[in-house]
Structure 1
């Protein structure tokens, strides 16, 4: 495992900061789980959030039970593994299985279309992992209820198909045990975004076919380095991230290029954004973007050249990035283990769901299949969607960013028709032309500021904390879509479509209340709407 630097100035800054931290005894104190490192206000939270430092050893206790579950699933022909989880409960398994090239269907959405797609795929051979640390995550609870009904309607006993991962004493543990589901309890002294090597990361990944014992082996190999004052990759990385951000380079562009690790930047995005984005401070991860020339950007490469290059196997990467994020928190003077603004959008959503009608408002502008809501920056009325994009880009502060947040089906683009006999490159072009995520890159080339993209509500458990708690220099573009084939949530007075829109409006209110530019685009026809978004972006 290695961390190297490609700039002399950063090398010097990181070395100076790491030396100061070493002189303060930080490496040894952190490795031993000292909760005082982030100040007296953070100590109580830190005292119950440092269990991740021991996971390379303690999580081995789970392996025999996990192996037994895997053998049972294989014997019963359950080869379609579905994971219902949000944030830390889904991002690590997604990286682990993608890197091991084994299939895992991840449900971290409230989009009815995306959930219906999973339901219609081999239900007869599906095993569902329901993962929630709190046991009360509304998205995951909805998925569990929907799958329970689907299994029963198909004549399948849900107890034979549902596995639960949660913290001891959570409401989900009680519900699961009453229903006869197999339950894996995670370490309660590990926060969600630090839980890659707990049952949350290991259970679904092993079911899908990943080698989770190797993950623990790789993490255990790097663990002794994390108490050192020199040759400590976690200290070096954390010192660089924290010191660079404190000096103004607080936009972390993460690339994984040709790395054999697949998708790690998405996991790092949550870890770093949710851990550091608070008290008006923070490091903003930028994923899927080419590095720009902005002075506040810092390029990190995963096994590929960057201003900071982090090389090593996945299990070690998990542990080193966690350690580095905790160190960066100390450098920045924040508590890396709390998330004070995450509940705000959740509370807004709950309040909206109690209303008879959701307050969608009146559109300012209609451009074909796209309705525009909100308060546009700039003077006068916008004439079309291109003008909306132009005004948002112009409203980004000189030290700010644009966040695109899409409450849509993130797999819908793969439904786009292509010509028979099309090459893979031609199919990729078709998919890209039908993907809302393509908008990020199209807007990014029209500004010198970073542009991020998040699928809602997935990003609420990730960059959502940064958007509300970090530096208030963002501009926000939210995308919602009409629902044609909604899905009831059994036992609840709402559908998935209503929940999805309530989540979008709830977060919209939280962002607008901070006085930042925020615009909602509603696609009255999703396919035509995405096409119009991309066409309008070309006209900017």
Structure 2
């Protein structure tokens, strides 16, 4: 077991960076980064806004700075809940949550793992009927974690209703004994959990925003149930806080310098933060992607996190990237040519992670960095103004469905073979000047990014087809690429898509499900909810002037997906002749 001083030293020694072509902007922003960090430690909301109303809102979003210490005081309760679940014979647990309520636990499962003998962990953050049906543990021995900061999020509440009915049909007399709630005080979920007798309710501090909640009950209750060493996670987090607060040099500070690199890169036109990680740490990108995109993508600026791309030769990347290379001590090679990146004068941050449990430090590092980057970009990194836009659009569609019995589906711009339809946003139709939707990718220009948004279930062949299309677009256009599953990305990168720079080109994919599932207590099914969320987001992309196409498949068929990919890629080939 490492002591606190050793942890701090390892964190400082494991951070290096090369500003490269953004060196001038880094020097211009360094003093501002130091001031932002100082204000952050003092919890001074004036760091991000001069508006008194905005400052009041921000002041109620800085509780994450104290979360590690709060969790250190709560370890006995966390371990007690985990031991009780084991003693009561639970073999599986299912986390029902979205965005900040689910991504950190999923990363901890994938990187740290589930201890032998502890309940198997399943995370469900999808409304796709196939995804819901795929989570089918033995209900009588399954514990459900219903996690929602607001307590009103439609996805986890719909999923909870599904599994509540499943428990009742399985003959479980006291279904509420199988539920744990994590939420804020005063929410509908908190009241319901108490009224219906959930086995435990964890009230999270209300001044911790969702995407900054990894080291609160939202992240550490699931970690404890998985049998992870939550004390070590918290100790690493405290070590990063200490190392960051004690280093006043923004150029060497292990968290502030990352934020300086992010913001200086974006201000210099390098706004694609490209995370390259070894296989063992690759899932961390899911969490970092949400934090960075949702925090910085607003008011026409933002940092686009690029995760999950296969590494390429340095000379094949565009001039719009800042690289972050993660490495796990004793792990596999991240496969990025660091020397080649530096030789090309491209900015790169190198982070060595001492052990999987040092994710506790990484959560803090990236939260601090994102807060500092927000100050330098002159935006509020603690709100998400465009997320509500898609929620509102979805709600309007669902109300229409309740009234008319169907969702309003506008006519397509093109129908391909096998019944595949394509529909463009107004901006895409305008910029294509009469060319068909298959030519959408020709709109990608220098410093644009490509985003693939898929409302599809957990199917290996579908995932391979999606990743193949993404990589073909990257390799043929040299554009940075993003990929996300809906509705998960609505609580992650969706804010950047609508609120950030208008440099994205989007392909949104929907499919008619093979089989649908009802939502108890609702007039609509999971399939209808998923489609309404997709249509609502596409309408939001349209309303914000984004270049996008909605591709609808008559079935979630990998072959149809490859047909669409071939058609879009052929459009690039035709334009290059």
Alignment TM-score, normalising by the size of structure 1? 0.90
Distance 2:554 2:294 in 1: 32
The alignment status of 1:316 with 2:316, answered yes or no, reads: no
Structure 2 counterpart of 1:66? 78
Q: Which moved more, 1:368-377 or 1:11-20?
A: 11-20
Question: 2:300 aligned to 275, 280, 283, which one?
Answer: 280
CA RMSD of aligned residues (A): 2.0
Is the Cα contact below 8 Å between 2:19 and 2:26 reproduced in 1? no
Give the aligned partner of residue 318 of structure 2: 294
Identify the match of residue 378 of structure 1 among 409, 432, 440.
432
SS in 1 for 2:302: coil
2:343 corresponding residue in structure 1: none
Q: How many residues align?
A: 512
Alignment of 1:183-202 (within 5 A): 183-202=201-220
TM-fit CA distance, 1:439: 2.2
Residues 3 and 237 in structure 1, CA contact (< 8 A), matched pair in contact too? no
Q: Give the whole-Å Cα distance in 2 for the aligned partners of 1:64 and 1:15.
A: 46
Q: Which residue of 2 aligns with 1:108?
A: 125
Residue of structure 2 equivalent to 1:46: 58
CA deviations 1:480-528 (Å, max 9, x no partner) are 0102211111111111100000000001111111222211111102124
CA displacement at 1:168 relative to structure 2: 0.8
In 1, the alpha carbon distance for the partners of 2:434 and 2:207 equals 53
- 3-state SS of the aligned residue for 2:306? strand
1:392 matched to 2:440? The reply is yes
Q: State the TM-score, normalizing by the size of structure 2.
A: 0.85
**CA deviation string 1:299-328 (max 9, x = no partner):** 111225651112332111100110010000
Alignment of 1:202-221 (within 5 A): 202-221=220-239
d(CA) in 2 for partners of 1:72, 1:185: 19
Is the Cα–Cα contact under 8 Å of residues 441 and 569 in structure 2 kept in the other structure? no
Q: Distance in 1 between matches of 2:219 and 2:519?
A: 26
Match of 2:290 in 1: 270
Check if 1:130 corresponds to 2:113. no
1:352/1:358 contact within 8 Å kept: yes
Note if 1:247 corresponds to 2:268.
yes
The structural deviation recorded for 1:373 is 2.0
Per the TM alignment, residue 242 of structure 1 is displaced from its structure 2 partner at its CA by: 0.9
Describe the shift of the 1:439–1:8 C-alpha distance in structure 2 as closer, same or farther (beyond 3 A). closer
Deviations 1:184-206 (A, max 9, x none): 11111111000000000011122
Contact 1:135-1:167 within 8 A present in 2 as well: yes
Alpha-carbon distance in 1 for matches of 2:466, 2:321:
25
How far apart are the structure 2 equivalents of 1:518 and 1:262? 28
Q: Which ranges in structure 2 are unaligned for 5 or more consecutive residues?
A: 1-10, 115-119, 328-333, 339-347
Counterpart-to-counterpart distance in 1, 2:419 and 2:466? 14
Structure 1 residue runs of 4 or more that deviate by more than 6 Å after TM superposition: none
**Deviation (angstroms), 1:297:** 1.0
Question: Is the 2:22–2:268 Cα contact (8 Å) retained in structure 1?
Answer: no
Runs of at least 5 residues in structure 1 that lack an aligned partner in the other structure: 383-387, 417-430
CA shift for structure 1 position 257: 2.1
Pairwise CA distance, 1:407: 0.6
Rounded to whole Å, the distance in 2 between the matches of 1:510 and 1:281 is 18
Distance 1:509 1:152 in 2: 38
Distance 1:287 1:212 in 2: 26
5-14 or 363-372: which moved more?
5-14
Q: 1:280, CA displacement in angstroms?
A: 0.5
**Structure 1 Cα separation of the partners of residues 37 and 542 of structure 2:** 41
Aligned to 2:158: 142
| Cα pair distance change 1:78/1:517, threshold 3 Å | same
Residue 331 of structure 2 is matched in structure 1 by none
Shift of 1:46: 1.4
TM-aligned CA deviation for residue 465 of structure 1: 0.4
Q: Distance in 2 between matches of 1:20 and 1:401?
A: 29
Structure 1 equivalent of residue 186 of structure 2: 169
What is the alpha-carbon distance in structure 2 between the residues aligned to residue 432 and residue 147 of structure 1? 26
Q: What secondary structure is seen at the aligned counterpart in 1 of 2:186?
A: coil
Residue of 511, 518, 531 corresponding to 1:488: 518
Q: For 2:87 and 2:468, locate their aligned partners in 1 and report how far apart those are by CA, in whole Å.
A: 42
Q: CA deviation digits over 1:61-94, x for unaligned, max 9?
A: 3322221221121122212111111000111111
- Tell me which residue corresponds to 1:342: 387
Are 2:229 and 1:229 equivalent residues in the alignment?
A: no
Residue in 2 aligned with 1:532? Answer: 563
